[in-house]
Homo-oligomer: A and B are copies of this chain.
């Protein structure tokens, strides 16, 4: 692994840290992907179901902000969940611009079944780090994430 960039030691280190971070998130993502495939869910679909499960019904623009995805993308993801009968759209009667999305009973059952194993799976993977190391990782990642 590593960069082929010809820079000084500090630059090489920074690029290697970047690559390591990206590879780690790729690995976690692909293990998530494999795990969810058993339930015929994509990562995005799972994310939407999870948000609706833990936060209750919400309109697509809110979901879009929660999941950090574009509005057009949410339309597509909710479309696919709706086709499977896992969520339902409800046009708001007061302000007809809004569409409230909520889990169906089937969707609620599915997320309740899938979530615990999913969480356990992640906890398991992160357990290669000690509690102290996880704290450090959170600190580092937040600082990287919150730049502008």
Contacts and interface: CB of A to CB of B under 8 A. Distances in A.
A137 B140 contact: yes
A118 to B, nearest CB: 10
A116 B84 CA distance: 47
Interface string A1-28: 1011101001101111110111111111
Contacts of A13: 131, 134-135, 138
Interface string A120-131: 001101111101
Contacts of A11: 119, 123
A104 to B, nearest CB: 20
A126 B17 contact: yes
Contacts of A142: 1, 20, 23-24
A138 B136 CA distance: 12
Interface of A: 1, 3-5, 7, 10-11, 13-18, 20-29, 54-55, 68, 115, 119, 122-123, 125-129, 131, 133-138, 140-147
